Structure 1
């Protein structure tokens, strides 16, 4: 859909009062908008009542975003609303009073804390320092005030860590030219630059000290040409960051919101001709394509280097190309100028079938949802077809100018994460092994024979400190085998791990093809004689192998041995976890309560969206599946 049609459609929906009813279509309408057009769309969307949208579309994830800071920040709401909407999220903004940030974050009884936001944006601007300088001022005055403000922000971050929930988002502060220019000697200007950078370094390091804090660096946004401030808005409206910079800041927050709601992408799928290299390899042969040599070839090589950099950080790389497989394989294998090689990609698909069909089959082979894909192609036709057939796929448009490929790929931060884990660095090898497992499956006549041949080992035990980032990541990224879809930051996992009545279990697995690493988590809570399974999650990589039954059997047996009389499992329906709706019932649990008509949905979930409960009396606990060697770190070893 081109930009004018998208704008007009959105405006028509607004005028006709149908925008709430059609809210799930909004991401598609916003996909091609950017800059001022996106902010204009955000103004329309910001007029909607989030409660009304949530009531009409309970499956749309809602994100409560608290906005506080030093200056006027109402102008942040439209771009923020639009950025979340384009990722399929509903923004529930809570905007604080002017210059209320110290009170908001310093008082655990404040309205900000009471809102229990998923994201708390504390927007810092240059005037947080310059408003408190004497006249005349010198660099030493800036050093003193900046140090005091950094100390204050640090104390507030510590208070948030202790009292808040979700994520506190801080930012570095740009230094406007009009302040540096007030110092007439270059030595003083240089000292001001040093002091200001030290101030920003202190802010950036807060993310290292406090797990609940993320710091967005605004310097790269200013470096691409965005003005840091608008002098008139700063003077008259006390809006000390420019609308353009706030819009770019909102885009970064949108990436973060996508991550905290479990919508981070996992795989980058590339077209080849015109995208990874110049020319058509089927017509010219490998030796005729543009890669490395010449100015255009160098641009394609630069794009390949960026792709390889992403792959080294856990992003799965694949290629889907309309081509014969032989010349494609020869290009990756034989061309000396190629940066990407076959070993960098988990799969290369070269055939003449429609690309959306290949993407669907690739997702099934990898064991991930097709909405985990980012697809890059230089053909408007292919991009349009994929958007239409697979609306969950993020489609990145590139064109005949390869020097712009990198910017197009990185613009939306599709793979942004708060932190990387050891699992991320090992992910590509593990998915390669998963494809080997599927090839192994083809050699067996039955699933049972295949499972026995895998030599599957599962270990379940209390989590340790080193596993906290990975366990948080599982809650953020796992959608299908996630019985309540509650998202937890590392600080949340640590609190449950340290709680007197709660425990966190880590599930690890391996087989003849290698180690899977940490693939699952159980969050437990003891209440008298009842053990509550508040959530159970398992990576889609290890579905349908009996791991879930083995872990559940171990937990139930341990609960019985520890004196529990019953166990309760909790399930909350979501758009993607329907395949585990009957998990507890398939494993001997029964719906809690009288089961009166209207109390539960078809699978026991409450119609009001709260978690349904299933009970097990622990009288008859099944053994783990016989093909699994269970290493029970809860109290013994069995197989």
Structure 2
């Protein structure tokens, strides 16, 4: 090989870049970045930051893109490469917009600023301790710092309020580290304690801004600093104006990657665990249910700690399952009867113990739960099994553990796979509802026909404008639903609230249940009345309730209500996305006819001359005519 030629099979990130194939090969990037250490990930970010997002989109138009505005008090250029890499690691593209040094007050305070003009999806306002200490006198006292802290928190709150009013973007703030170089300038311990208390009180106020403004997220930097990351680099601070160290900015970028994944509907819903070497030590087939390591001794305690974390995730709506190569009898005995077992069968939506390949067990679980494979995280200590799942089910996220159980927790939690903006009652009820769904599958198997099954299932539906209490769940449905999502429009709570209160617009919540239980809010329809025409801007339905006729019943109700209230027609929009091809024919299948295209979306129209009745097996407990 001469002249710097690159072999066609060079699929390293650098090789793809040198050969000009990086944009065309962008779907391969997450795999190339998956196991890189932090320093190499940042170097990869420098390379990826040179990539034109529009070139990637020409090859892969469904790639999620986030415009990220970066502003703050200090030099923040070093944040861009790790930020670009972290989004790429999760299959997204970043369009970063870096503000001028110390421009955050103007950026967020001026409605005509370039930050707002950029139309960002994310605004990162990176705060550092110098926003306080740059403004205290010399010499200074704790009282001086307290006054400055109060003023700065009030300023940041005002900027957050302005951003909340002016844009739908998510604003990310952060707590302020307190480096020792400040506390050490106070020679008495009582003053140091008072400074620490004032500083923590100010950070507590920053952390509560998200409760006041739903579009605000405040990242707590203390847990990152507790990992041993330096808050600042003295030389870069003095000579380059960097308020936070490059290592801290890189970890900050990882947290932003988790948030961005949630905002683009790429969060995970299910955690599938192996058993031997993962949830307990030893080999069940050799050691028997009483011989596995759990709860006793150093290694047994490490496995118990891991089980506690898994159960904690399950308590917050993560679906837990086991897929293991073992005989089912001993597995059931160990989970039910081992005196020191933390996870029990009641915590799991399924225990799949057999000698089949593990990808088959995961795929079967995905089918039965009606979830895409990309909703799953698979955890195993076997390199072979991890490689097999990666090859057979590339959409599944694989977390490889090893023989050191003390590190299991850190490896599982490293990437915040299940992070969400806000937890609600629907999240906590999710595992029980999916267990009910598996009961429905068994119930279905007892019938000779789908019609008989649906008739006996007793499906009920409530279709009504969302209440204020339902707005967070309505927003969450748009963020987490991918398959039945006609417009692929992700909405934050503030956007849902504005639509619900807007003139001529309605956000209709869909709740359902049946003989097995209440499913809660499972969907929404966003409508807009304009010039005698009702337009369906978005229709979202959870995969938990597919194939029950709920979408047909709700469309029939919307059409009948439109005709009853004097509309001349109903229009609807379908926008192709990476995973919503299954609803492309939703509107044609329900009497709509093609009506052209609009900004890449397909338009459909129903003249309301013939409105079908809802399916007879569905009972409305509240419908639109009751809401007028």
> So what's the TM-score if we normalise by structure 2?
0.97
- Structure 2 regions of 5+ residues with no counterpart? 1-8
Query: Match for residue 226 of structure 1?
Result: 229
1:372 and 2:375 aligned:
yes
Q: Distance in 1 between matches of 2:424 and 2:24?
A: 40
Task: Give 1:403's match in structure 2, choosing from 403, 406, 415.
Answer: 406
Q: Does 1:521 align with 2:524?
A: yes
Q: Equivalent residues in 2 for 1:415-434 (5 A)?
A: 415-434=418-437
| Structure 2 CA distance for aligned equivalents of residues 502 and 456 of structure 1 | 28
Q: Which moved more, 1:474-483 or 1:51-60?
A: 51-60
Secondary structure (helix, strand or coil) at the match of 1:517 reads strand
Structure 2 equivalent of residue 538 of structure 1: 541
Q: Can you list the C-alpha shifts for 1:195-217, whole angstroms capped at 9, x where unaligned? A: 11011011001011000100000
Q: State whether structure 2 residue 591 is matched by structure 1 residue 612.
A: no
- 2:628 maps to 1:627: no
Residue 51 of structure 2 is aligned to residue 34 of structure 1: no
Per-residue deviation, residues 157-208 of structure 1 (Å, max 9, x unmatched): 1111111112000000101111111111111111110111011011001011
The question of 1:454 aligning with 2:457 is answered: yes
The SS at the match of 1:286 is coil
After TM superposition, list the pairs within 5 Å mapping 1:82-481 onto structure 2: 82-481=85-484
CA contact (8 A) 2:559 2:608 kept: yes
Residues 573-600 of structure 1, C-alpha deviations (whole Å, 9 max, x = no match): 011000100110110111114xxxxxx6
Q: Answer whether contact 2:10 2:16 (CA < 8 A) is retained.
A: no
Q: In the aligned structure 1, how far is the partner of 2:45 from the partner of 2:625?
A: 55
Residue correspondences, number:
619
Q: Does residue 1:77 correspond to 2:47, yes or no?
A: no
Match of 1:596 in 2: none
Q: Determine if contact 1:7/1:29 at 8 Å carries over to the other structure.
A: no
Aligned counterparts of 2:35 and 2:404: Cα–Cα separation in 1: 19
How many Å apart are 1:367 and its aligned residue?
Answer: 1.1
Segment drifting more, 13-22 vs 122-131: 13-22
Q: Distance in 1 between matches of 2:52 and 2:150?
A: 41
Q: Name the SS for the 2:290 alignment partner.
A: helix
- Distance in 2 (alpha carbons) for counterparts of 1:269 and 1:562: 49
Checking the alignment, whether the CA contact within 8 Å between 1:457 and 1:510 is kept in structure 2 is: yes
Q: Which 4+ stretches in 1 moved above 4 angstroms?
A: none
Give the SS at the match of 1:287. coil
Deviations 1:476-519 (A, max 9, x none): 00000000110000011000011012110000000000010000
What secondary structure does 1:582 align onto?
coil
Partner residue of 1:549? 552
Partner of 2:5: none
Matched, 1:510 2:513: yes
1:610/1:8 CA distance change after superposition, 3 Å: closer
CA distance in 1, matches of 2:466, 2:223: 38
Whole-angstrom distance in 2 between the partners of 1:117 and 1:356: 39
**What is the SS of the residue equivalent to 1:574?**
coil
The CA distance in 1 between the partners of 2:106 and 2:51, in whole Å, is 29
RMSD of Structure 2 on Structure 1 (CA): 1.2
**Structure 1 193/576 Cα, relative in aligned 2: closer, same or farther at 3 Å?**
same
Residue 438 of structure 1: CA displacement? Answer: 0.2
The equivalent residue for 2:52 is 49
